[in-house]
Amino acid sequence: MIATNEFQLQVARQTARGAYPAAPTYALRVVSGGLSSKPTVDQKKVGDGSFWTTALKRTGYIETGGEPVLICDPNSLGLIVYGGMGTDTPSGGADPYSHVITPSTTFGYFTFWQEFDDGWSVFHDCQIVGFELSGSTDDKFLAIKPTIIGMALEQKCAEPVLATAETDAYHWLDAGGYWALTGDLTNMDHQDVPTDLPTLKTALENFKTTFNAHCAVATGRHHKAADAVNVLAYATPLADLPACIAALTEIRAGIIAHEANTTAHYFADTTDNNPSAAWLEPCVTLEDCLIAAEDLIGYVNAPGCYNRHLGAMPGIKQFALTVGTNAKAIQGEGLTAYAIHRAGGSIRIAAQQLMEDFRAYNLVKFGNPAAAAGTDVTSEIQKGSFAVKFTASVTGNERSCTVSVPEFDWDPVPVMSLMGDPEGNEIYLPIEGEAAGSAPLATVTVVNSVATY
């Protein structure tokens, strides 16, 4: 019997078309699909005096490629995303390295090796013409489905010197609640809730840096001007509990004044669900301070006041980033594709958020998150922005993937059709649309152990 589960896919980047690497660099963990050859048989009926004449047949084209679904591993993910988007800007002098991947009009070539029950094939001169990067509460491992087109015939080959599969993978729960919608992911407070005085002091020191960086931002979907008035000024490092109490008092007043500063914020981007800094003051005990810090920072999937203001949105059920270049293989004199024609690309973001209030619904439908009675349905396409950060569950150096779409045209059609459910089932708000605005339309930042692709 054939061991159908003895299947694997490995890949290496080519330096140029026709320059074939000797061995793979990354082992890809395949969920489904793979690469294949799909012959097109040309046939022509002819008359040769016989009633039973068969048609002339010949293989006229062999399509090479496929759409495998792959687990998102920290190192190989960056290579696949780079292949589909075109530009990788690496940085860092040592592990961890950061790869800022953005859309381009120049695309690289790749070689794939595929095993099927101890039999090996190699696919040369492949390009990645698009992909879908997705994750959800139902299928918690992040996956990527690249669309691959080859421009060389599949060849039987001997087993290459194999790359070692990675031990880590991105998982939905490792997002850590780092979602942002029309907000400011860069300056969100990504830290654990403090549990004692030393961690409280560290948290408040980090918070000051992050909050002041947020106040300095002057443009974007969330900001229309910087806020130089409400920056935090308490001295760091913090000396003791009284210093922490004074810092929390200053933070509470600063956040309230900052959110009330209409010269700094667009009305549509105020994302706080509740009154700012909801903890009682003055804080007296360490327990009071820890409760305040919990409200300020927020646990995983339950962002606090400050993070809600920055756009952190709990209740996300799924997301998908789709990158496509409207690609078509063009045949030349040979059996495989001679070239790939790309007829204009598009980038789309799609997500679903548990509907807990009507702010986003009112924004898309009426053009105002706090629409008053008598407001007509808007005919204007509303803008959104979206970002999420996943961290692979590893110890040691950072392994992360951040997806950022600074601006997209929010598709109003699915939002308009939302309505109540007599059975009381939960409703999810559709967040989807095409990336728009200035370049780069989308950025995927991968932090891993790879210096360069």
Cis amide bond preceding 24, omega within 30: no
Number of H helices and E strands in the chain, helices first, is 7, 23
Domain count, the chain: 2
Nearest Cα to 280, choosing from 263, 267, 292? 292
Q: How far apart are CA 211 and CA 213, in angstroms?
A: 5
Which residue among 348, 364, 399 closes a domain? Answer: 348
CB 175 within 8 A of CB 389: yes
Mean pLDDT for 298-303 is 72
Mean pLDDT for 196-202 is 96
Question: For tokens 């589909």, what's the residue?
Answer: 84
Domain identity same for 159 and 212: no
Residue 414 amino acid letter = P
Q: pLDDT at residue 107 above 70?
A: yes
Rg (CA), the chain: 26
CB 70 within 8 A of CB 28: yes
Domain identity same for 104 and 34: yes
Tens of pLDDT, residues 427-449:
999 999 999 988 999 999 999 99
Mean pLDDT for 387-413 is 89
Tens of pLDDT, residues 9-32:
999 999 999 999 999 999 999 999
Tens of pLDDT, residues 64-87:
999 999 999 999 999 999 999 999
Residue 53 amino acid letter = T
Tens of pLDDT, residues 326-366:
999 999 999 999 999 999 899 999 999 999 888 889 889 99
**Is 53 a domain residue?**
no
Q: How far apart are CA 432 and CA 200, in angstroms?
A: 38
Domain identity same for 338 and 371: no
**Is 2 a domain residue?**
no
pTM score of the predicted model: 0.89
Tens of pLDDT, residues 200-223:
999 999 999 999 999 999 987 788
Nearest Cα to 18, choosing from 127, 152, 196? 152
Domain identity same for 75 and 210: no
**Is 152 a domain residue?**
yes
Q: Which two tokens stand for residue 192?
A: 């654990």
Q: pLDDT at residue 394 above 70?
A: no
**Is 47 a domain residue?**
no
Domain identity same for 279 and 336: no
Domain identity same for 240 and 369: yes
**Is 50 a domain residue?**
no
Where helices occur in 25-167 by DSSP H, the ranges are: 74-85
Domain identity same for 213 and 305: yes
CB 431 within 8 A of CB 384: yes
The pLDDT assigned to 85 comes to 97
Domain identity same for 154 and 69: yes
Q: Which two tokens stand for residue 257?
A: 């004044």
- Least confident window among 39-43, 180-184, 241-245: 180-184
Q: How far apart are CA 379 and CA 416, in angstroms?
A: 12
Nearest Cα to 69, choosing from 328, 316, 320, 318? 320
In order, the DSSP letters of 2-64 are: --TT-EEEEEEEESSTT---SS-SEEE-EEE---EEEEEEEEE---SS-TTPPPEEEEEEEEE
The pLDDT assigned to 3 comes to 77
Domain that holds residue 402: 179-316+353-448
Domain identity same for 103 and 204: no
Domain identity same for 258 and 333: no
CB 265 within 8 A of CB 303: no
Domain identity same for 93 and 156: yes
Confidence label for 368 from pLDDT (cuts 50, 70 and 90): confident
Q: pLDDT at residue 188 above 90?
A: no
Q: How far apart are CA 259 and CA 272, in angstroms?
A: 9
Q: What's the CATH number where 112 sits?
A: 2.30.110
Residue length, the chain? 453
- Residue 389: C-alpha distances to residues 171, 215, 263, 450 (Å): 11, 21, 29, 19
**Is 370 a domain residue?**
yes
Domain identity same for 114 and 186: no
CB 447 within 8 A of CB 97: yes
Q: How far apart are CA 205 and CA 186, in angstroms?
A: 17
Q: pLDDT at residue 273 above 60?
A: no
**Is 453 a domain residue?**
no
Q: pLDDT at residue 190 above 80?
A: no
**Is 54 a domain residue?**
no
Specify the 3-state DSSP secondary structure of 359: helix
Mean pLDDT for 378-397 is 86
Q: pLDDT at residue 120 above 90?
A: yes
